[in-house]
Amino acid sequence: MPDSPTRSEPRDDDATIGAIGEIAALRRILPRLESGASALLGPGDDAALVAASDGRFVVTTDLLVHGPDFRLAWSTPFELGWKAAATNLTDVAAMGARPTALVVAIAAPPSAPASLLEGIADGLREALRALAPGAGVVGGDLSASDVLTIAVTAFGDLEGRAPVRRSGARIGDVIAHAGARGDAARGLALLFAEATDAAGEPSATLAAELRARHPDLLRAQLAPSPPVAAGVVAALAGATSMLDVSDGLARDARRVAESSGVALDFSSSALGSDPETVRVALAGGEDHGFLATFPDDAAVPDPFEVIGRVVAGDGEVLLDGLDVGADGWDPYAGWDGRSG
């Protein structure tokens, strides 16, 4: 879990990024980062050099944009860095790979305090230490933009294993899940319900009060701690398919079902003891747990829980045998233009 992700207060001497310039800003960020065990050459040249022990590397990239993806009134810079790392690490791990390194490009307003960048760097470093020990930040870029934007590209090593794809689920496999189900969505719903002012704008004051009352749900949304190491565990245990659950269990399960040419049948009793819990488990996005399938005769490893079975079908997602709608999240559908 995040290590005291308290809001960074601007210091009296905290110059803006624009005033100190790119070079000085980089000098304040780089000492806060670690390049990790796989970095053969870290930051400082035209490009970095990273070890890829089995002659291949896994790569994923993701953008976090102020407005649709986060609100500065709700997230601390530390939490932004943490979440940017965490969400990319799970994409690498969902292939069955061990995360090795990140590169990070940040576009920030020249008027922002340099402590914003320091907070993001601290969050990146601590998330890597906590979720993927040994992995580090091997390179990056700093640009100017009116909209704070964090672009992370993450790398992983399959260590000779075959990648675990979303297309490998087979009829008769058990469906298993590792990580939170619905907590990130509950945290976001709380923020929208109780941390916006009368005009609907995100409020830092209300968010701080809410954080005191619901620390775990807000942390699940703002600085999640998905079980990254479970990705390799699943691969070693023979997972036939796996993906990172970012858009909600129902919507991501449909991707596995469609890619694999099967149906995924969830057990409501495994997902929760009441209908609302089951609904949020299926619909809630941004938990970044792992949805995997295992052969019927495989031992499903910790921390995975069995939540259903793969059955014959053509891309359907079922709950106790009945078709459920795919609910999820589209960055263009979900953004009302507010930045917060």
Alpha-carbon span 68 to 149, nearest angstrom: 11
Q: Which of 2, 5, 68, 119 binds a second copy (CB under 8 A)?
A: 68
Alpha-carbon span 127 to 129, nearest angstrom: 5
Q: Is 183 marked as binding a ligand?
A: no
Alpha-carbon span 16 to 263, nearest angstrom: 53
- Whether residue 107 contacts residue 148, with contact meaning beta carbons closer than 8 Å, is answered with yes
In whole angstroms, the minimum distance from the beta carbon of 123 to a second copy comes to 18
Please state the separation of Cα 148 from the chain's center in Å.
18
Is residue 266 packed enough to be buried (19+ CB in 10 Å), middle (13-18) or exposed (0-12)? buried
Site string for a second copy, 163-202 (x = CB under 8 A): x-xxx-----------------------------------
61 binds a second copy (CB under 8 A): yes
Q: Is 74 marked as binding a ligand?
A: no
325 binds a second copy (CB under 8 A): no
Q: Is 279 marked as binding a ligand?
A: no
Alpha-carbon span 310 to 313, nearest angstrom: 9
Q: Which of 52, 206, 229, 298 binds a second copy (CB under 8 A)?
A: 52
The piece of 40-48, 119-127, 213-221, 232-240 that touches a second copy (CB under 8 A) is 40-48
Angstrom distances, CA of residue 34 to CA of 41, 63, 81:
12, 21, 14
In whole angstroms, the minimum distance from the beta carbon of 64 to a second copy comes to 8
Q: Give the residue ranges of DSSP H helices in 224-274.
A: 230-236, 249-260, 268-271
In whole angstroms, the minimum distance from the beta carbon of 115 to a second copy comes to 16
249 binds a second copy (CB under 8 A): no
Alpha-carbon span 281 to 217, nearest angstrom: 14
138 binds a second copy (CB under 8 A): yes
- Measured from the CB atom, is 55 or 275 closer to a second copy? 55
- Measured from the CB atom, is 70 or 294 closer to a second copy? 70
Beta bridge partners of 137: 102
Q: Which of 141, 197, 276, 296 binds a second copy (CB under 8 A)?
A: 141
40 binds a second copy (CB under 8 A): yes
Q: Which of 239, 229, 236, 240 is nearest to 160 (CA)?
A: 236
Annotated binding residues for ATP: 140-141, 166, 246
Annotated binding residues for Mg(2+): 46, 60-62, 91, 141, 244, 247
Annotated binding residues for substrate: 69, 286, 329
